[in-house]
Each structure stands twice: as C-alpha cells, then as structure tokens.
Structure 1
Amino acid sequence: MDAHALHRNEPAGPIARAMRRAAAFGIGLIWLAAAGLAAAQAPAPPVASATEARTGVQRVDAVEVELVAERAAVRPGERVVLGLRIRHDPHWHTYWRNPGDSGLATQVEPSGPPGTRFEAIRWPAPVRLWVGPLANYGYEDEVVLPFAVDVPRDAAGPRMRIEAAAQWLVCKDVCIPGEARLALELPLAVAGGAEPARSRHAALFDQMAARTPDPAAPVAGAAHREGRGLALVFGSPTAGATVGRAEFFPYAEGVVSAPAPQTLSTTAAGWRLDLELADGATVPGTVDGLLLVDGRPFELRAPITSGPAATGTQVSVAAQPAGLSKSGGSLLAGSQNAPAGSSASGTDGPAESVDASLALALLFGVLGGAILNLMPCVFPVVGLKVLGFAQASGDARGARVAMRRGAFAFAAGVLVSFWLLAGLMLGLRAAGESVGWGFQLQSPAFVAAMALLFVAVGLNFSGVFEFGMALTRLGGVGGTSTAGSFGAGVLAVLVATPCTAPFMGSALGFTLAQPAAFTMAVFTAIGAGMAAPYLVLGLMPGWVRRLPRPGRWMQTLREVLAFPMYATAAWLAWVLVQQAGADAMLRLLFAAIAIATAAWAWGRWMNGTPRRGAVASVLVIASLLVVGALMRPLFDESAPSPATAATASGPRVGSAGSDTVEWAAWSESAVERALADGRTVFVDFTAAWCVSCQANKKLVLEREAVTSAMRERGVVALRADWTQRDPAITAALARHGRNGVPLYLVLRPGEPRPRVLPELLTASIVLDAIR
C-alpha cells in the first residue's frame, strides 16, 4: 500500500495516529534504504578527503557547496558575515533547523585562528516540501545559511583563513547524506581603515537577510491549546496594517503537524492562526518559531495561555498547493506565484499530479470565463442579452420556452466559438507555429475586420438598421430567436478575444504542454463559465422577474451602449496603426464609411417598396465591394510594427529628474545584462490589442507613485510587445506557463526564479514587488 492510499483510508482515533506514525517510520526506512543503495551504486563524488579543507566550490552529488563572505575583506576586531552557500540541482532539497516530518537539519562547524568567535546560523525562512501525506521544511534552488564571525583584535598577516565542516541530507526521490570540508581565505585589511567592499555574493546575502527574521523585532503573541489544535494569537507586525496570509514554522520538532493546513482569521483581539498539533505532541510552555506574515519573516514567542482564543472571520488558509508535479512545477510553471512558505515541488506520481492540475485548470477556466463577461468589450453585448430576457419573460408558457431556447442557443454559440478557437490553435501548433490566446489579433486584417464589426454593431445599437429576426440585435429588444441568440454567443466570444480575465492566464497556460483533449477541456470550461449566467437565467424564470421591467428605457440603454462599441472600434484603429502604419488606418476609416453607408441604406429602404429594396441592395453590395478592396492589402501586410513604447536600443531607465520611466525593448540578453549589473528588472509582456494590458498600463504602470519608485530604485523596465507575432516572446510566455498576455515579471539579482504578478495590477502590488 502506498503512502497516498494509506492516507486516504486511514481510520479515526488512536488507531489513525498509530498508523500515521507507522507510515512515517516506514517511509523513513525506505528513504534510508534507498540512500544506502544509491551510495553503494553511485561513483565516488569528486570531493576532497574528509581531512582536507578546500577553498572554492565543491560538487557533492546533487549540490554545490561553498563557504562565502558578505565582504571582500575583513578587519581586526570587527564582525563579518559568512555563510554556507548550497546550490541544489533542480527539484532536490536540503533541510531547515526543524526538518519537519523527516530529514536532517544541515550542520556547519566553523573554525578559525585563536580568538575567533562564531555565532549560530541565522536560518532564512524555509518552504514546505510535500511528500505524500507528510511535509518537510527546507530549501530548494540556492540558499546561503549565514553566520556571524568576530575577527580577533590581534589578527595579523595578509590573509585570514576560516574553515568549516558541513554535513547535510539532500533528497529528491531518494535521500543522500553529504559532507565537505570547506575553506575561505579573506584579505586582512588595516584596522580602522576604509570599510571593505562588498563581495560578489553580497546580493545573495541581502536576499537571505530579507528571508530571515530580526531577533530584535519579534512579534508578541499567545498560544491557546484547544483540544487537538493550537491557536496562535498575535498583533499586526506593522501598526495599523492588515494581514492577508500567515504561516508558522515551529523551531521545536514534533509540536505542530507539518502537513496540516494553517487557517488565518481576524478577531477583535488581533490575528488568529489555527494549527494542528502533531501526534503525541508535548507542548512546551512557550511556542517559538518563525512566522511568515504576507511573505515577511518574524520571530514569534507565544507563551501558552489558559482559556480558548477569541474566534473571528477567516482570511486565508496556508495548505498544500494544488497542481504540484513530480518535476517540481506547479500550474504556473517556472513562477514564484506559490503561496509564501509553500514549495513548488513534490513527489506525487505524474498521473495523479496532472489530474490535480487539470482539475484546477478547469476550475480557473470556469471562473475566468464568468469574469470575462465583465470585460469592457464584452459587457455591452452580453448586457443587452440579459435585458433581452426581461422583455421575453412572462407567465406564458411559450415565452418561457422561447427564453430557455434562446439561453441554450447563446451557450451553444459561445461553446462552438471556443471549440473553433481551440481547434485552430491546436492545428497551428501541430504545423509548428507558436500561438497563444488572442493570436488572431496579431493579424492586421483580423484587427481591421473586428473594428468594422464593432462599427456595424454600434450602428445596429443606434437603430440605423435592423436585421429582421435580430441576428445582430443580440437579444436586446425581443431578440429571443435561436439564430439571433446563437449569433450573439459567437459575437460575444469574438469581442472577448482581446481580454484575459483573472484566472484565465493560469488555465490557458496549463494547456501548453498537455494533450489536445486537455486543451479542448480547458477551452470548454472557459466557454461554460462565460455562458453560465445566461443558462441560469434561461432555466430559472423566477430570477428573470427580478430584472427591471421592460420599457422605453431599454431602447435608450441600447442606444447608449452603442458608444462603447464605437470607442472599441477607435481603439482597434489605434492597434492597427501600431501593426501596419497610418496608411492602414486611412483605409480602415474609408471602409468604416462604406459600412455606415451600407447600414444606412439597409435601414432606410430594405423594408420599403420593392424598388427601394433594390436600390438598398445595390448600395449595400457596392459598399461591401469597396470594403473588400480597401481591406485586401492588409492580408498581404508584412511590414514590421512601427516603434511603440519601447525601443531596441537596450535597457534604459529614466534619471531621477525625468517625468517617467523609459521602457526598453525586452530581450533575454537585456535581462541578463541588467541582472549582471545588480539591477532589478520589471518585464511587461503586453500587446496593443490587449484590453487588460492597456488598462494596467494607464491605471497602474504610468502612475506617478509607480514610476517614481522605479526611478528611485533603478529598476530596469523592459516591454515585450506581442502586438505582432514574435516567436521569442511566445517562447518566453510558454516558459512561464502562459500562452497569452498580460504577464508581468519581476527579476532580482541572485534570485533563481522571477516573481509573477497577477493579470490585473494595483499600484500596491507593483510597489511591493519592486521593493
């Protein structure tokens, strides 16, 4: 029986605790046996003998270790910070001071000249590492375990040599114990002279300092034992600030259950974090540990207090993230979007983790599709569809049947459109093309056609023309015909393509490396989420009665909503300028006049006498021919996009006295150069046709508070413009688990992975990310 099966079928009560202890013990034996087998079969690692300490990097199995210093030199009588740097191979990890359910803490025993004093390791905040039903605390990627060294006042000579004996346990599918003797030689500067320069590892020490609690600024709290639970009550570390997420890592082993969820609530007495006690735990008089509050580490000393803690309103839950894979990737591969204190690695089987990721992607797809209805391009269209239900509602059975039929037809139009989009994307990928959500808007011809469509819809809303059974009236006034509702669903998806709603980016990113069936399932989920509100209204006539009563105001609202359609057409004209230049926009403007002529002729004469109908037909056909002639050159448009907000001259940032941040064109080399210079990098993956991108740009990225912060901190701002096809940008999006824009990354020197920001930004999100 595997650990997962044991976890699923565990009985209740004392038997359950005994079985969990047996499972943990059994897993530990298996890991030790595997470690022994690996050690017996593996070749001897290329390290020095146990009695010889070496300077520089040493490779030991799945890690590289090195003794490093924050400063490039030391002075007699002063303190310097050294550290054990551990660089793990992908998906391997070592352990924190409290390893959790299994594992061994890393040990460092330094030595130096007589009189040298060494402080204990100041442990940076770990992450939770999930192993089936168990969890450990440890580190992945790169970490430095820092410790302070007091240099003797009588230190002499050109250099000072520090040695350290290090031991650790490194684990992935198996665990391998490792050890090395390390040495570091630092120049000895003159006492009282200039402060030594910072070393090349200083940025990594700064990163560790940000993850290490300050013992001089602990968080005061109290612990209340409540049955099998432990409630930690604490105040906000920053006066007046709210707390969105908290996670506790106890210093003592065997007190708190490592894999159990941790629930944060707000109460009248402050903040409450509910923990689960470990099986057979002996609770000390004071619970000590590291408290992560919104990603910031603090030390917490919480004396056990009698009586229950005050209850309150739940804020968040720190638990095992869904969608973890054996390879260490989460649903957002390559990102640091996982909750604070959680790790993007695990040891679940591939099939089980893919199933979990698919379930999460489907959930995100439904949520994103529902939110898509609120996007600015879509809302006028679907808003009139909803109000159309109000006019079609009534007590008559026929009205209810027509309303239900219209809801199903609208949903069918939405789903069929999403299936066609998914099929087209899969076909292009099979042909070797790199495409993503909104890829059709990278074609100038498609952008122009969409602009003309919005002009036509606006004219229809304005009452210039009607199409009989309201194919284009979108159910706004009496539009309950099956064909009209189906067309409304198709149109709603078309106008939604420039938008990426929250949750959609994660769901679409999951489809990048999945079979075609999974891709179709995710697109179906997005379509179902988008169509769900209308299906509910169509199937629940009682809900429709809560809508405003029909009247002349509906026609007025319909005419008012024409203006967002015209505004969208104007915006798409601007997009076309970015793609194909001013000449293309001039052709579009004349084509719009031709569309308006056709609409006016249709509305004026098509329902009149046969002679007037013939005249209208001739004018409509002639106008459409003119539109075709004007738009044909766009199908052959291959000119590169004119310069937009970024230039290709390399990364440049406005000086402190400039009014705004100067954005440079994104490239991998530009990112590498900026990071090599010790600069923080902000990357904006955007497109002129992306509504969410432009909203974030105008409302957040161009705000004075944000631009000032970027200038003051020397942030390198890079813009990856996906307005037209760019295989390099498409590949970069895919590496970060996305196949569409927007995507916002913050990269820092010394950090192995970028921080991924949400699709919808706020100034506080950006400011927190670049600090």
Structure 2
Amino acid sequence: MNKLLMLLLACWLAVSGAVAQPVRVDAVEAELVAASDAAVPGGTLMLGLRLRHDPHWHSYWRNPGDSGLPTQLELALPAGWSAGEIAWPAPKRIFIGPLANYGYEDEVLLPVPVRVPAGAAPGEVRITARAQWLMCRDVCIPGEAELALPLRVAPTAAPSPQAALFEAAMAAGPREALPVRVGLGDGGRASLAFGLAGVQTAEFFPYAPALVSAPAPQRLFRLDTPGASGAQDTPGRWRLELALAEGVDRAALDKGGFLAGPVGVMRVDGRHYEVVAGPGEAGAGGVLVATAEGRDESRGAPQGGAASRFLEGVGGGSSAPAPGAVAAPGGGLTLAMAALFGVLGGLILNLMPCVFPVIGLKVLGFAGHGGAGAGGGEARRGALAFAAGVLASFWVLAALLLVLRGAGQAVGWGFQLQSPAFVAAMALLFVLIGLNFAGVFEFGLRLTRLGGAEAAVAGRGGLAGSFGAGVLAVLVATPCTAPFMGSALGYTLGRPAVEVFVVFAALALGMALPYVILGFFPRALGWLPRPGRWMESFRQLLAFPMFATVAWLAWVLGLQAGVDAVLALALGAVLVALAAWLYGRFVQASAGSHRLLAGALALASLACGLWLAMPAADAGLAPAGGAERSPGAGAASGTAGAAGASGTAGASGTSGTSGTSGTSGTSGTSGALPVAWGVWSEAAVQQARAAGRPVFVDFTAAWCVSCQVNKKLVLERDPVAGAFARRNVATLRADWTQRDPLITEALAAHGRNGVPLYLLYLPGESQPRILPEILTSGLVLAALASIE
C-alpha cells in the first residue's frame, strides 16, 4: 500500500512538477512556474512569476513611469540556493490622461534565475514565494499572494509546459548591450546616438524614474546618408530624441546615472537592447525616420478621463464621460460599441447649443420644400446632400487627426481650438454667418432665401446649399461634445486609420440621421407652418446664437492670448462687418458704377480686419493684464500639514506659502487659490464637522494613475480650488502610498479596496456622499453647490 501511495505521489509530481495552482487576487491571477521539470544540482533553474491580467488592467515594470509600483517577488529557497534579480521583459507605454506608465497588460512572465548548489540532494523540494504587485485600471488595487511550487531535484531535467513562456519573456528582454552617446539639446530634450543597420522604429524605456518624460513622443532621426547600394546590413548612425521631465538638467541626469553605464532598454524593430551610455557627442539634426507616439503633457487629458480630453484646450470648456469611465485610450470598448456610441453621440450632438443655428437652417429648408408633394423628392435629395456634407467633414477631421498623430502630435476632437489664430478665425466666420442670417448680405445658403419654393429647390444650387449646411454643421459642432461622444472618440486614440474612419463615420451618421429621416418621410413635417414671412423672421433670429458664439470665442481667445487679443478681434470684426455691409449694400443690391469701388473697399476692409484680428504666432496663455495664469497648486499626494483641516485659504495676493494656521495664499500675480490639504484622520474629520464645516476627503496614492489625473485636472484647478475656499471646505488627504491599516479600514468601510475614493461630508448629513472615481470640475462643483 505504501508503495502504491509513493507511486501515485511520483506520478502527481511528474504531471504537476514545475506547476502550482494559480492564486486569484481581484483582477490578476498569479502563479509561480519553472522553465524545467526539475532542478539540476550545480545548474541554474529559471523560476518565474506569471501574471494574467483581466482585460484593461495592468501591472508595472521596474520603472513604473509617471505613477505606479514595480512588482516584487520574494523567494523562500532551500538552504544553499540563491536567487538573482528579475529579468524584466521590456514593457509597453500605457497612456492614461496626461500620464504614461511602463507596464504590462494581458499576460506577463517575470523570470528569476535561481542557482542550485552542486550538493543539492535528489528528491522533492517545495519552493514558496511572496509576490506583491499593483494592478490598475480606473482604480488601483495592491495585490499580494503567497505562492508555492513543488519541484524535483534530479541529475537531468526536461522543459516544462511553461518553457515557451520563459523563451518569450527572455526574448522580450535585452539580450545584448547597445552603446550610445547621450547629448543634451535645447528645450529640455536629450538624444541617444547609436549605430545599427536598417533601423525603422525605436522606443526607449529608462531605468531611472523622473528623468525622461514618459508620455512624450520619441523621434528617431538618421544622421548619415544610406550608401548607394542601399544594403540593409550596412550599419547606420541614428539619433533617438527624448523629452526630459520638467526641471531635469545635466546635473540631474548625472546624479541619476543617465550619462554613464546601463540607462535603460531600447526596442529597435522588435529586438531589445540594454542601452549603455558612454562618452562622446550625440550629434544633432538628421532625417526624421519614425516617431514613437506619445501625449502632450502640457494639455493632458480633459477632466473625467482620456475620452474627454478632446475639449480640454477649449478655453476651460469641458465635457465628461459617464462616471466610472475607464481613463485609458480606447477604454473597455470594442469597435462595434464605439461605433454605436458614435451614432448616439452624433444624435445627441444635434441638441447642443452650438448646432442650433444649423438645425434652424434645416427647418427652413424643409419648410421651403413645403413638406411633401412636389418638393418631397427634392427634400430627400437635400437631406442626402446634407448628410454627405456632414460625412465629408467628419472624414476630413479624421484625416487631419491621423496626419497630426503620425507627426507625433497628441490631438483630438476640437484640437484646432487650442490655436488662438483658429479661434479668432472661427469668431470672424461666425460674425459673417450672423450678418448673413440678419440679411446684411447674401452669400450662398440659398435654401433660406424667400421668394418662393422654387428658389429653395433650385436644382444644383439647393443641393450645394444643403451640402454646405452639412459642412457648417460640423464646423460649428467642433466646440461641443455630447454624452457617448467622449467614449467613442477616446476609442480612436492610437487605433488604426480604418477604425478611426469607422467611428467618425458613425458620428456623422448619428448627426445627419434625423434630417435624413425627415427628408425621406416629409409627412412628419406636417406640423411646420406653410412657407411665408415667418421664415425671414426665423432666419434673422438665428443670427443671435451666432453672435453669442462669437462672444464665447472672444472669451476663449482672452484666456489664451490676453485682453489685447480680444480688442484686436473686436476691431477686426468691425472691419469684417463693414466689408459684409459694403458687399450686400453696393455690390449685390446695386448695378451701378459704384459696384467696383464698393467691391474694392469691401476687399480692403476684409483684409484689414483679418490682419488685425489674427493673434501673433507666439501668443501666450496670459490672462488680461499680462499676468501668467497658474492653476491652484495644491499639495502633492503626500500630506500638507494637519493645519489644513481647520485653516482657510488665504486671500489672493498674499505669499504663496502656507502658514501654521493652514492659510494658503498665492503669489501676487496668479490670482489662483491653492488647496490647503490637511492630513486625514477620523479625528480630523470629526473635528471639522463639529465646527460645522463641510469636509472633502481625497483617498489617494502617489502610484495611483487616476488619482494623479484627477488631482492635476480637477482638484487643483482654479474653479474647484476657489469653490473649496468660498464654501470653507476642510480638505483632507488620505495618502495610501505606503500601506496604512487605518486607511485600509476606512476604504473597506465605504465598500472599496483601492483608491481613488472621494468623500464629501455635508453639514446635517450623517453619511458622506461618494463621488465617482473619475472626476470633472462640473461634477465636483455640482456637489459643492448643495452646501448652504
């Protein structure tokens, strides 16, 4: 019987040797595996931590990037055995909002070499390990597991079922050294110069944190001219240009070990090298070969997550995705879901204020067709022409986004409104459209002219007008977004061109769908009055939303380029309006000899107006008065002193330091109120509540991506910081960067096992209000508005 049990045990070890049962911890499955089925005395045994991530979750490399924590593995080995360091496979850059992390998604194996002593006795051994990692999606959860692996010690060993995983992991790590020369250029940039043959792509991952900007694009230049033979095996000279982190100079690079020795891993055409810095000059210039895409840190992601980043540059305007949306490129969407969201977003976009004038145009057009009857066929053709104009415009925008993305620019919906010159041009265009609606002059848009239905259905002219109305609809829609649009557009970040065009086509379909339906089913327009003088009045009424848009764009321009730019725009708009009046009064409405002179004066006035209104190319972001705008600078994810729990924000114009009472002012030029974060504790919460103050608690951590995005884009921006100060809110920060059992218990008490968590305690309410993980300024301000 004992022999039978021993035989069964040996069979079990033969089958399960080098494999143990995986352990599931939240979104990650962890397992300790080996590359061979036995440990050979005097040899090296490859063990590995195998992590399987749920979709859209990730863990981190040895340098986690802008936030995060590297995975750790502690092995408990038999006496005399020794383990080396993790042989890290090269990571990928994971973009979330304005940040980038170095990490792994899906499945990763982290190999560790283990030296087996020559005197290891044959038989069975049991290796145990303690693994710790950080898993993140829209929240970050620390993971920990105790793992075990039964193994045999034998004279020979065969590959285990996991041997292929080890081969892939080792191939994904650096196998040979790549000597480079490091050079520093202007504008906070560094270059790595190296020599290899036939390089097409390159991407660098630094060992040292906080030296190289993780989200910035990396550009590859060829420094020499390929030989006439064009042989691919001829070594060439290359330069990879990197953006340094803010404030990093040569001294910081030297201190961080970036100027000598191993400095990181470079992926070159799918092959990985350990980059070793040495003496010499990196050179400059060269021919741009490729760009490893990145994000523009100065713009970042808009409030609420990556999907909403498309409106962050529009003068403070923002729109957020649904609470809890995944703040990552593409989120959790499939192409089909993104297309569906695009159709829904396009439909809702018609209800946005910026599209209202174009809705009016289509109402006039359908009314001009008389709804049914003889005009029914023309109404259908006009609706299709409008849809064609919408589709063509969306595809042009998609093409522009792809071209700029290929050039290494991080752009999205409404990207053009980040340019003061474009904002000014849009304002002048809307001035002209408003004057056209008001009847100052006539130019196109014959669909809105009175004089009979025949003018509205005038063959090619009517269809051209409908197509132009579609183009205008998209043009005026770019400052706006709608629910579902954020998720759909966020899906396109980093996606192939075909998928980008599919999503943009879905947006166009949604936007044009109501008009196509009405065009094909004109009986639905029976509620419209018959064509008449009301159309002229309604058309003139549409001028005022356009003028309101001009006022809003002028405000945007003021935030971007200052009050002088607004004055120049106003004067330019006067000259453009004069040109429109001259054209309508003397060119269109007159057949006399004065037409030529009036036309020349109109052109001159238009040219002067455009020249005067266009901001300078180097227009900054200074507000009126020329002072530099500065978002409220709050504390880091660490603590800011307990005084913040009871202190109040200081007046603008005081010193930028925090006093012992918790007062926190700003520099005399910024006009912003930074948030004075106090150290969270239950006692601090109760003390502030006993004093009758509202309390806002930020459960955060330095490694939490969503926490840093919310802090950078919402909590420490002027609107929210000012609201905290005006309402005398006690702001407390619970820093979970290092494990804290009190914070862990507080998170569990509110049904959470990770950060971020945002609590708002209001006077008179026994329980706090829990805000979503993904914040927007509007969401926080709305919550604060309930404070009496």
TM-score range, shorter chain: 0.3 to 0.5
Give the structure-1-normalised TM-score: 0.47
Give the structure-2-normalised TM-score: 0.46
